[in-house]
Structure formats: C-alpha cells, structure tokens
Amino acid sequence: MLRRVDILKEFADGAAEGLRSAAELLPTLMLVVTAVSFAYRSGALGALAGLIAPAAESIGISGDILPLALIRPVSGSGALAVYNSIITDLGPDSTPGRIASVLMGSTETTFYTIAVYFSAVKLKADARIFISSLTADTAGFIFSAAAVKLFF
C-alpha cells in the first residue's frame, strides 16, 4: 500500500511467468518419465538390481528392495509403483517392506529435482551436484536398512 503496487497486475505477471516456466520444463519432464518407464518395463531395472544384489546383501540391504533404491532418485511415481509391488508381494511387516517404507520416507527423487530446478533457472548441473546427490541417496539407502535392523 505504501509503494502503491498494483497487486492484481503483479499476481497476473507472476502467474504468467509460472506458466512459461512450466511450458519450458515439459520436455525435460517427459524425457525423465519416458526413461524411467522404459527402464522399469523393459526389465533393465531388474537386471541391474540382480547384478548389484550380492554386494548389497553383503552390507545388509535386501535384494528385494534394490529396484526401489535404483528408481527412487529418478522418479517418485516409478518408485511408488515399485514400493507398491514390494508391499503387495512381501507385506508391510516384512523386513523388505519396512526397509522400503523407511527408504520412501527418507530419500528424495534427486535426479528429477535436479532436472526441474536447473532447467527452470537455465543452468547446467555439473558433476559435483550428481556425485553429492548419489552419495546422499546411497547413505539414505544404507541407513534405511540399518535403522530397520536396529529397531525391528
């Protein structure tokens, strides 16, 4: 009121800018969704999980949750589908079900988030961003399994 700003005009300008940003992000989002769907439905995700399973099981991470751990950094909806299959097949009170639940609550879709935010500001993410994100995700996966084993 003191600066005599036209609130309606400012709101309309902000909404228009938001729509432009959403339109610019759409190709990136479509690419991420397509890549995740391809990896999951082609069996590539399961094959990769099978390769990693012996090493993961040696540190206490069940091979049943590896597909979830692999897809969670990329896609929230893909991770939710994998999580649903774990809960349906193994049960919510099973060790993999509990680990999957903790993992879903304690990790983020980091690559999706990086893609959206860096596309919005029109910057290119460098390798340090991806390395630190993968390190944090890996810690989240390991500590999810450790917390379940400690408390259950």
First to last CA, the chain: 58
pLDDT (0 to 100) of residue 31 = 79
Cβ count near 71 (within 10 Å): 23
pLDDT tens-digit series, residues 53-63: 998 888 778 88
Q: What is the pLDDT of residue 48?
A: 87
Domain residue extents for the chain: 7-151
The answer, yes or no, to whether residue 24 has pLDDT greater than 90, is no
The 10 Å Cβ neighbour count of residue 122 is: 8
Judged against a pLDDT cut of 80, whether residue 110 lies above it is answered with: yes
What is the average pLDDT score of the chain? Answer: 86
Alpha carbon distance 102, 61 (integer Å):
13
Token pair for residue 67?
Answer: 């597909």
Whether 104 shows a pLDDT value over 90: the answer reads yes
Overall average pLDDT of the 120-132 stretch: 84
- Say yes or no to pLDDT of 79 above 90: no
> Which of 80, 78, 48 is closest to 66 using CA atoms?
48
